[in-house]
Amino acid sequence: IYSVQLSGVGATPAYLKFYNKASAPTCNSDAVLKTLIIPAASTAANGAGSNITFVTGIAFTTGIAYCVTGGITDTDNTAVAASTFAINIDYK
């Protein structure tokens, strides 16, 4: 992964968690490789976001899998509201 664009309209932050897996992750028990925060929006009309670049990239030897959760801990699997976040992942 070389860059990620994160945005949302939610009043609380969410967390994008990456896993080195070829299948869908189990969000509350698989080993998290990296966690990124999706900032909370001051208002839904304004939204919030961040753009993150990894200059040398992050290698995934098995596959790129991810979860978006409401809690920061690796074992959290709190569901987030539908249609609240937009995520773009740039990989090579």
The amino acid sitting at 68 is V
Give which of 57, 56, 47 is closest to 84, Cα–Cα: 47
Give which of 34, 36, 42 is closest to 12, Cα–Cα: 42
The model's pLDDT over 19-64, given as tens digits with 9 standing for 90+, comes to: 999 999 999 999 999 999 999 998 888 999 999 999 999 999 999 9
The amino acid sitting at 85 is F
pLDDT (0 to 100) of residue 4: 98
Instruction: Read off the pTM.
Output: 0.94
55 phi, psi to nearest 5 deg: -55, -45
Q: What is the DSSP-derived secondary structure letter of residue 55?
A: T
The model's pLDDT over 55-88, given as tens digits with 9 standing for 90+, comes to: 999 999 999 999 999 999 999 999 999 999 999 9
Residue with tokens 């992964």, as numbered in its chain: 1
What does the alpha-carbon distance between residue 77 and residue 92 come to, in Å, rounded to a whole number? 28
